[in-house]
Structure 1
């Protein structure tokens, strides 16, 4: 592509040529473009210079295109139509979209959200590909850089103005243990917890979260004589719980998934660690005018609303 030649061309000239071809009259073309007839005649002179061809000859019925102008007719319509689509953007059709969206979320959120969300998206946008990432730090920066499209995360203390977010809901914390665990009998205290090993479920950007101090309480209370396990895989953590005396601090809503938490009991947290786990859907302003992203934002929110309705109905 020779950009020097392109720089010489005023796109308004091409639009004027298209109108001249459609109207077959200098005066009618001038009226349509809201300019004077002399100005339209000067435009035609410039077009003749650009294309090195008369383009039109006068006749009793106005102007007639030359063979060169007729050659340009089809290409010009396609070119101007492409420019129009480029500027306006094509109408978004979920059923036809075949790109990929990247979503960051923890596995314990994904267990509840992904099955109904993926089914909904398969029905509405069957060619859309969803890529989920369960372990990624600096999520706000990753959103800004375009490495992530959305993040569903535990609420951070603050969000810069460049980000939009929506609170999705909240859940009280719980101590998850196997059924029959010694902690299921009697009061759960810090001293009793210190007698058992801890599972820490990986949480992205923990230092920036509202629950950071409360989470540290479990780590500080752990006895040096007891081991610990950190994992980002919820199902792995639950399997460890079922066969050991480990305990896992986590959201109480997990036990609503009876299939995933079979054999797991949820106990109240000790005094001094009472807090709400608040979840938010987050995106960067770079996607604010994207029809795809705005549509998917609503699909995520609608899916979560449906989950809450079903939970209330079962309860």
Structure 2
């Protein structure tokens, strides 16, 4: 595109040409554009200079367009119509979406959220391309750069005003172990955990997280163990737990999914009290005027609200059952 030449053209001249082609009369064109006839005549002179053509000639039947003007007619109408659509706000219709949106979240969040969200999006936006990334660091930077559209993660300690966030709820941490694991035999202490290997689920931007339980939750717990396995694949991690003496710290809502938590017991975490981990939906302010992003924001938060009422009771029952077995 030759932007240098394009910058020389006044868009208002093209609008004036469109009106002249429709009216074929300088006076009527001037009235429609709310300018004087001399000003309209001056505009016509400028148009003739831009296109290097007379554009209109006088006859007994009024102004007649030249072949060059007739050649411009259809293209001019199409161009001005396109510009009008470009700058006007149109009604948003998710059914017409055919674009890609990138969402960052951990697999353990995706297991709880995506089946319901995907069903919802399939019905309303069947051509939407939703790309899920489960292992990405510096998520706020990636959002600012436009490499991510949304992120669902554990709340960070700080968000600048450039980011839009909303709390999605919280979940208590639990110890996940296989049924009949030796740790079920008595009260668990940190010293007891040191006798067993630990599975560490990958958590992005770990050093930036806001976790009120402090280092006991993510760093201190499981530091001194017989061995460890760090992984971002939840299904594999749960299979490891079912077949070994590994234990894993995870959110209590994982036990809600029977197909994933089959054969797994949830026990209270030593020394964490009633602490919970808070989850947040985040996006960058660059998307605040995007109908697509605002619509998806609502779809994600509405899906979370629909899922939330069914979780607390089941989670408490499972954790309580695990605690009772533990005692």
In the alignment, the residues of structure 1 paired with residue 313 and residue 247 of structure 2 have an alpha-carbon distance, to the nearest angstrom, of 30
In the alignment, the residues of structure 2 paired with residue 60 and residue 34 of structure 1 have an alpha-carbon distance, to the nearest angstrom, of 26
Alignment CA distance shift 1:312-1:175 (3 Å): closer
What is the Cα-based RMSD across aligned positions, in Å? 2.2
The alignment's TM-score, normalised by the length of structure 1, stands at 0.92
1:61-106 Cα deviation digits (max 9, x unpaired): 6533233222211010011112222333665432222211111100
Task: Describe the SS at the equivalent of 1:71.
Answer: helix
Is the 1:173–1:274 contact (alpha carbons within 8 Å) kept by the matching residues of 2?
no
Is the 1:195–1:223 contact (alpha carbons within 8 Å) kept by the matching residues of 2?
no
Is the 2:213–2:275 contact (alpha carbons within 8 Å) kept by the matching residues of 1?
no
1:233 aligns with 2:242: no
CA positional deviation for 1:253: 1.1
Partner of 2:306: 306
Report the more deviating stretch, 75-84 or 88-97. Answer: 88-97
Task: Describe the SS at the equivalent of 1:161.
Answer: coil
In the alignment, the residues of structure 1 paired with residue 299 and residue 36 of structure 2 have an alpha-carbon distance, to the nearest angstrom, of 51
Task: Describe the SS at the equivalent of 2:95.
Answer: coil
Pairs within 5 Å for 1:242-253 = 242-253=242-253
Partner of 2:101: 101
Pairs within 5 Å for 1:125-274 = 125-211=125-211, 214-217=214-217, 219-222=219-222, 224=224, 226-272=226-272, 274=274
Unaligned runs of 5+ in 1: none
Partner of 2:276: 276
Alignment CA distance shift 1:224-1:297 (3 Å): closer
CA positional deviation for 1:302: 1.4
In the alignment, the residues of structure 1 paired with residue 133 and residue 161 of structure 2 have an alpha-carbon distance, to the nearest angstrom, of 24
CA positional deviation for 1:26: 1.7
The alignment's TM-score, normalised by the length of structure 2, stands at 0.89
Alignment CA distance shift 1:302-1:29 (3 Å): same
In the alignment, the residues of structure 2 paired with residue 8 and residue 140 of structure 1 have an alpha-carbon distance, to the nearest angstrom, of 40
In the alignment, the residues of structure 2 paired with residue 117 and residue 126 of structure 1 have an alpha-carbon distance, to the nearest angstrom, of 12
CA positional deviation for 1:160: 0.7
CA positional deviation for 1:59: 5.0
In the alignment, the residues of structure 2 paired with residue 28 and residue 313 of structure 1 have an alpha-carbon distance, to the nearest angstrom, of 74
In the alignment, the residues of structure 1 paired with residue 264 and residue 162 of structure 2 have an alpha-carbon distance, to the nearest angstrom, of 41
Task: Describe the SS at the equivalent of 1:260.
Answer: helix
CA positional deviation for 1:281: 0.5
Pairs within 5 Å for 1:67-78 = 67-78=67-78
Unaligned runs of 5+ in 2: 318-327
CA positional deviation for 1:127: 1.3
In the alignment, the residues of structure 2 paired with residue 313 and residue 23 of structure 1 have an alpha-carbon distance, to the nearest angstrom, of 72
In the alignment, the residues of structure 2 paired with residue 225 and residue 69 of structure 1 have an alpha-carbon distance, to the nearest angstrom, of 83
Is the 2:117–2:303 contact (alpha carbons within 8 Å) kept by the matching residues of 1?
yes
Partner of 2:64: 64
Alignment CA distance shift 1:218-1:139 (3 Å): closer
Partner of 2:120: 120
In the alignment, the residues of structure 2 paired with residue 28 and residue 40 of structure 1 have an alpha-carbon distance, to the nearest angstrom, of 10
In the alignment, the residues of structure 2 paired with residue 219 and residue 246 of structure 1 have an alpha-carbon distance, to the nearest angstrom, of 17
In the alignment, the residues of structure 2 paired with residue 31 and residue 118 of structure 1 have an alpha-carbon distance, to the nearest angstrom, of 55
Alignment CA distance shift 1:187-1:14 (3 Å): same
Alignment CA distance shift 1:60-1:308 (3 Å): farther
